[in-house]
Chain A
Amino acid sequence: MITDLAVQGAQMLLVLLFAPLLTGLVRKVKAQLLRRQGPPVLQPYRELARLMRKEVVLAENASWLFRVNPYLIFAATWVAASLVPTFGTGLMFSWSADLIAIIALLGSARFFLALAGLDVGTSFGGIGSSREVMIASLAEPAMLMIVFTLALVVGSTQLSTMAGVLLSSEVGLRVSLGLALISLIMVAIAENARIPVDNPATHLELTMVHEAMVLEYSGRHLALIELSASLKLLLYISLIACLFAPWGLARPGAEPVALAIGIASYAGKLAVGALLLAFFETAIAKMRVFRVPEFLGAALMLGLLATLLLFVSKSL
């Protein structure tokens, strides 16, 4: 009981610690690929510390919702990230929220973020919120189709059970899992506001979605929102790793050696994920906003196809 609680607590701290590191690594690799030096890998930690210490400048007509939002968004994202197996599958509270609930928690974070964009009553916030809900209206169904595919293959919607079953060799390589992986990568790119869907480093009105919604935030509020965005990226990479590359995950009730191996392999997977993401973002240009629905529509179709294949035949 105590060890289980310790593992769950360690997971919660680990995701919080690794998230800015992941963002820093992605930025560094992108810069190096563009033949720049790039900021140091630990720079996001310094940025968060600096923002936390600064005074918040609030618009005159911002409401209580605007002030409470960053904490709501952070809470939802942190709870979701704590329930995705990173180094071990035996998370104590994994039965309290399955994969559908985790996606819905991320959905609530997005709901409140979109409201924050509308709160101050500027046109930038409106642009961000309206585009964000358009992207979400297709990304969320695609994600749910992926959940269905995985649940039909594994026989459960609990993430820990899924990771456990996929770790054992009884599943093998399946078409539906391949389609689900591609669909998940497309959805992850859209949900984390990466190129080609959105540019995380821009402040041009025509090209921003996520940045537009948080334009009015400053100080500790902005720090929390940046941290939530990093946590979300970590969550998606962990999800892909635990579902499609589950090797190295420690079983429930394992000894400290297995846990250490789990943490090391997790760090490795994060590094690989960051590298791949950086390569991908540098190699591709951003899409027009109205090509994004086609992109996500394709992801939805792939997820639907994968689910359909599993409904039709158990071995696909």
Chain B
Amino acid sequence: MTVTIALSCVAVLLALAALAPAMRGSPAATPIVYSVALVASVVSTLAALGHLVGASAPASVTLPLGLPWLGAHFRVDALSAFFLFVVGLGAGAASLFALGYGRHEQAPMRVLPFYSAFLAGMNLVVLADDAFTFLVSWEFMSLSSWALVMAHHRERDNAHAGYVYLVMASFGTLALLLAFGLLAGADGGYAFAQIRAEAHAPALAGLVLMLVLVGAGSKAGLLPLHVWLPLAHPAAPSHVSALMSGVMTKVAVYGFVRIVFDLLGEPAWWWSMVVLALGGITAVMGVLYALMQHDLKRLLAYHTVENIGIIFIGLGLALAFKAHGMAFAAALALSAGLLHVFNHSVFKGLLFFGAGAVLTATGERDMEHLGGLIHRMPQTAFVFLVGCAAISALPPLNGFVSEWLTFQAILLSPQLPSWGLKFLVPAVGALLALSAALAAACFVKAFGVTFLGRARTTAAERAQETDRFSLAAMFFFAALCLVAGILPGAFIDALAPVAQSLVGGRMPVQSGVEWLSIVPIAESRSSYNGLLVFLFMVVSGTLAAFAIHRLASDKLRRAPAWDCGYPDASPATQYTADSFAQPIRRVFGTVVFRARERVEMPPPGDMRPARLTVEVHDLIWDALYAPIAGWVAFAADRLNKLQFLTVRQFLSLVFAALVILLLVLAIWQ
């Protein structure tokens, strides 16, 4: 039932993609496409939610599409229902946002058809039940998002971003293709049910894990395969950036979970160590990269990398517990990771929507040209603040809940007998704590420099509030952040069927706990009540305000800023994004980015200005990608000579190839 609903929504989206070019030139094209996409997403979200909450049995359907002897299998079980819900929620909110934002699009036909295709592709990946359908949908999703990245192809960096994205996406799909090839087995059965039933040799399973980490990990944004993310995500239109960061990376996480937890069977002892190590490093490096940025969207994209690291830490812990047979702890770790999947899609979507609103209002993405927007765009500023607070894991919002659950899972890990894990898990815990603290710093910077202070350019001075649809989408997500933070028990219970099917255990039932607290392990051990904390804070704050205003004073007057007696009229004297990040750059960046500050001071009498230059190197790009690009260019140069041969030389090449193949055949027989 759910499968048919989901597939029909996908069909509607595909039809929309096909029909959109027919509406070229009509001003109604944008509202029509986005409204239909919104309705389709809402329907699919509700269907998935119903399946998940009702804990229905998995349902599958086989359509006679694709390869004739294989068909196309589609299935909805607890895991795919959850991810279908996440995809639908993000897609619906993005479509709502785009109803307002899309009006400013210069060339709508470069965006609209590919947008519906992108939504359809993401849904299909989650629904796929055999390797062929999965890979085709994966490629379809990549290509449609590539087209969206290239929508504004005349801007300088976008073409480069699109190119890098295409190369990395193809590389990732190749890795996944190889992984599925290894999984398919002797008789070549590609359906997931057949793969699940087969017992895989440990060496093979290990190789598949590494290939999946490369393939799905590069799409999700694991280090060192993350380089396309901060180029491509900002290049796309803002609602698409929100989808790519908030939803497409989660589809990649779905691919990882599906293959590693479901299809590969029992994990080996060393798998979790690789995943944990990668997750921890990704989390810290992602947020350090984000702190160095002053382009708002690029900062948000790098920050997605950090959150993917946190999700993989949760998944790594779940793998570790599963490998040692501790189903209860594995369920806790898995629920923490999946809850973070949901939370991140909500607040990252919200933040990208805010960045999009700022972009349309001011035309600027660079924080150093903004400032003071809280006065010009108060509602956008408010919801952006809620998003910043949520992503910094501040109670009582939702980011804190998933982080708290991950910490509880880490506190269960001394029971793991493996020595490697005994050293790795505390180190990863320290990295997680470090990344959380740095994330708060990053978002103080993002919100403070963009919205607070004084306007640095005329564009920022003249900004106007965004339209109703964009605000509606943002307020919806902000409300969801608060609800998920106050009532996390419902969300944890909804994830129970997923944990049960993947690791064979589940967290305690949260719906019966008094006062709506959550108890991840046992009452005596730890509990958290978001609602009470929220109420406490509201009550004490209002009590204090009321008491002071009644009993003491409520007078107020405005005056110029104090600034220690030396106020400076120029807004250029306030802190910029780079100067805000300077202490952290000096502490962490000298090692991680080889950050150097150089001061060129001209001699006295010389009229030239002094110059301060900050050099930041992306060591991963310099060490890994630049050499590979160099070798490829070198090889391409050499092979270029093949272009200029005579006819006789081409014929001799063909002749040589034929002779060699015949020789091989002769020897092999």
Contacts and interface: CB of A to CB of B under 8 A. Distances in A.
18 contacts: A53-B552, A56-B556, A58-B559, A61-B561, A79-B533, A79-B536, A98-B526, A104-B404, A108-B394, A111-B443, A121-B561, A122-B561, A124-B563, A136-B441, A137-B438, A138-B587, A157-B411, A300-B430
A283 to B, nearest CB: 27
Contact of B452 (A56, A65, A79, A303): A65
A311 B448 contact: no
A148 B385 CA distance: 30
Given A53-B553, A137-B440, 4 more contacts: A65-B452, A97-B528, A98-B528, A151-B411
Interface in A106-156: 107-108, 110-111, 114-115, 117-127, 129-131, 133-134, 136-141, 144-145, 148, 151-152, 155-156
A107 B444 CA distance: 12
A74 B447 contact: no
A57 B557 CA distance: 5
Contact of B579 (A58, A126, A158): A126
A54 interface: yes
B6 to A, nearest CB: 37
Interface centre among A52, A54, A141, A303 (most CB of B within 10 A): A141
Interface in B398-445: 400, 404, 407-408, 410-411, 413-414, 422-423, 425-427, 429-430, 433-434, 436-438, 440-441, 443-445
Contact of B400 (A101, A205, A289, A312): A101
Contact of A308 (B395, B426, B552): B426
B448 A308 contact: no
Contacts of A17: none
B553 to A, nearest CB: 5
Interface centre among B389, B560, B563 (most CB of A within 10 A): B563
Interface in A67-107: 71-72, 74-76, 78-79, 82, 93, 95-98, 100-101, 104-105, 107
A52 B568 CA distance: 29
Interface magnitude class on chain A: 35 or more
A253 interface: no
Contacts of B438: 137
B320 to A, nearest CB: 13
B525 A155 contact: yes
Contacts of B454: 61, 121
Contact of B553 (A58, A140, A219, A300): A219
A144 B322 CA distance: 26
A315 interface: no
Interface stretch (B148-156, B213-221, B262-270, B370-378): B370-378
The 4 closest A-B pairs by CB, nearest first: A126-B575, A118-B448, A121-B453, A75-B541
B556 to A, nearest CB: 5
Nearest to A65: B374
At the interface, is chain B mostly helix, strand, loop or mixed?
helix
A203 interface: yes
Contact of B385 (A65, A98, A308): A65
B122 interface: no
B427 A304 contact: yes
B159 interface: no
B581 interface: yes
A145 B433 contact: yes
A275 B126 CA distance: 62
A145 B389 CA distance: 23
Interface centre among B408, B440, B447, B515 (most CB of A within 10 A): B440
Contacts of A134: 441, 583-584, 587
B437 A136 contact: yes
A220 interface: yes
At the interface, is chain A mostly helix, strand, loop or mixed?
helix
A115 B448 contact: yes
A71 B581 contact: no
A53 B429 CA distance: 47
A148 B583 contact: no
B580 A138 contact: no
B537 interface: yes
Interface string B555-567: 1111111111001
Contacts of B538: 75
Contact of B541 (A74, A108, A290): A74
Nearest to A116: B452
Given A53-B553, A118-B449, A141-B437, A76 B537 contact: yes
Given A95-B529, A216-B562, A120 B453 contact: yes
Interface in A9-32: none
B527 A118 contact: no
Interface centre among B385, B407, B560 (most CB of A within 10 A): B407
A138 to B, nearest CB: 7
Contact of B404 (A79, A101, A120): A101
A137 B568 CA distance: 30
A60 to B, nearest CB: 5
Nearest to B448: A118
Interface string B523-549: 111111100110011101110110010
B586 interface: yes
Contacts of B583: 130-131, 133-134, 289-290
A148 B411 contact: yes
A72 B541 contact: yes
B291 to A, nearest CB: 9
B470 interface: no
B360 interface: no
B145 interface: no
A156 to B, nearest CB: 5
B441 A57 contact: no
A157 B526 CA distance: 6
A293 B389 contact: no
A63 interface: yes
Contacts of A158: 524-527
Nearest to A217: B562
Contact of B395 (A63, A105, A129): A105
Contact of A78 (B372, B427, B540): B540
A293 B444 CA distance: 19
B541 A71 contact: yes
B276 to A, nearest CB: 14
A52 B436 contact: no
Contacts of B542: 71
Interface centre among B378, B413, B528 (most CB of A within 10 A): B528
A126 B453 CA distance: 10
B517 A141 contact: no
A310 interface: yes
